[in-house]
């Protein structure tokens, strides 16, 4: 029996996540949305692409949560997107209400699933989903660090004119302006990038990484990024379904790790069949720890607003 992945929200991020998952033949996909016709149309279109791609993934679009029953993983992308001039914080109350509705229905139909949260503001929405679901922390994971690290890796590879395959990068902290890219732990073929570029160049790339989402919003005018966010969610889905034990930066609920208690913050985790199988603590300099604490404080402010 094939794995089943539900994607909540059939907008650009949700539909593109369905596309990546189906094209990699990772699972059968259920695309669900409150808007009638959109998930059905996109699901059917994607299903009709499978003979061309030579993939046997089944895809359905629906408005009925009964169709999502017994999903192995549920990726939640539902919510309003960020518009130009809108901060992630502005999204908070609207997307919290949507999350509340969605998580209740998902838990009812797939009580053993793993939740991957993509909706913004990411860390606060992951915290909300964790509290609403009653799931153990291993089964509620925020997609942030994979995306932010991919942006960091893109800019490093461009700057040094090397293959992206040679570049590893780590970004910790909240998904937003306070994220903490870590040049010390970022390498090109094992060589620390601090050995390959000067501080001014590094600082510029770090800032561009922090502004990665806003830069795309500025170009698009009416919408936000979706190719890279959906690819990031798909990498997490693949690590879980294939039990890869892959170490990826994700938003996880911390119980004292990094000195942070009761909060979703981006850290390196090992992803496998059970979800988060280990939270990996790396040594931080006092400056990096201060930056991570500042990022955690920004997340704390958000969750105070929605009282989770």
**DSSP letters for 163-182:** -GGGEE--EEB-SSTT-EE-
Residue 173 near residue 295 (C-beta atoms within 8 A) = yes
* 158 band by pLDDT with thresholds 50, 70 and 90: very high
Q: Is the distance from CB of 213 to CB of 224 less than 8 angstroms?
A: yes
Dihedral (C-alpha) 299, 304, 307, 308: value to the nearest 10 degrees?
A: 30
Please report the pLDDT score of residue 124 as a whole number.
Answer: 93
pLDDT tens digits along 102-148 = 999 999 999 999 999 999 889 999 999 999 999 999 999 999 899 99
Report the pLDDT value the prediction gives residue 85, as an integer from 0 to 100: 72
The pLDDT assigned to 84 comes to 67
pLDDT on residue 88: 61
pLDDT band at 222 (very low <50, low <70, confident <90, very high): confident
* Banded model confidence at residue 82, pLDDT cuts 50, 70, 90: low
Q: What is the pLDDT of residues 7-38, one digit of tens each?
A: 999 999 999 999 999 999 999 999 999 999 99
Q: Which of 36, 33, 1, 6 lies closest to 18, judged by CA?
A: 6
pLDDT for the residue 89: 65
**What digits encode the pLDDT tens for the residues 178-190?**
899 999 999 999 9
Q: What is the pLDDT of residue 94?
A: 87
- Is the separation of the CB atoms in 35 and 66 below 8 Å? no
The structural domains of the chain, ordered by start, are: 4-142 (3.40.50.720), 145-306 (3.90.110.10)
What's the pLDDT score for residue 86?
66
Q: What is the mean pLDDT of the chain?
A: 95
Does residue 259 come out as left (phi exceeding 0), alpha (psi in the -120 to 50 range) or beta? left
Which sequence positions are flagged as catalytic?
175
Collapsed DSSP state (helix, strand, coil) of residue 252: strand
Tokens of 114: 């793993």
Q: What pLDDT digit, counting tens, does each position of 33-68 carry?
A: 999 999 999 999 999 999 999 999 999 999 999 999
pLDDT at 91: 74
**CB under 8 Å to 97, separation ≥6 — which residues?**
none
Supply the pLDDT for residue 93: 87
């Amino acid at each position: 029996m094939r794995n089943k992945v539900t994607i909540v929200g059939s907008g650009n991020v949700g539909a593109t996540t369905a596309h990546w998952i189906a094209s990699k033949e990772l699972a059968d996909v259920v695309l669900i949305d409150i808007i009638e016709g959109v998930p059905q149309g996109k699901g059917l279109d994607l299903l009709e692409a499978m003979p061309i791609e030579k993939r046997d993934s089944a895809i359905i679009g629906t408005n009925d949560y009964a169709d999502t029953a017994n999903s192995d993983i549920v990726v939640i992308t539902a919510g309003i997107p960020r518009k130009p001039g809108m901060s992630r914080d502005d999204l908070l109350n609207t997307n919290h209400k949507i999350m509340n509705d969605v998580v209740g229905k998902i838990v009812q139909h797939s009580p053993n699933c793993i939740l991957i949260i993509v909706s913004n503001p990411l860390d606060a929405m992951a915290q909300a989903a964790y509290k609403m679901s009653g799931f153990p922390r291993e089964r509620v994971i925020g997609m942030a660090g994979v995306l932010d690290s991919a942006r960091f890796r893109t800019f490093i590879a461009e700057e040094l004119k090397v293959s992206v395959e040679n570049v590893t990068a780590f970004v910790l902290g909240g998904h937003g302006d306070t994220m903490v890219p870590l040049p010390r732990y970022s390498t090109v073929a094992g060589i620390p990038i601090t050995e390959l570029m000067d501080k001014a160049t590094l600082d510029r790339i770090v800032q561009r990484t922090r502004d990665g989402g806003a830069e795309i919003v500025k170009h698009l005018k009416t919408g936000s990024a979706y190719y890279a966010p959906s690819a990031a969610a798909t990498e997490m889905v693949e690590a879980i379904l294939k039990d890869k034990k892959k170490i990826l930066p994700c938003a996880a609920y911390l119980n004292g790790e990094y000195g942070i208690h009761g909060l979703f913050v981006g850290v390196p985790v090992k992803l496998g069949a059970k979800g988060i199988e280990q939270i990996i603590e790396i040594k931080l300099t006092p400056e990096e720890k201060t930056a991570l604490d500042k990022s955690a404080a920004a997340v704390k402010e958000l969750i105070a607003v929605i009282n989770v």
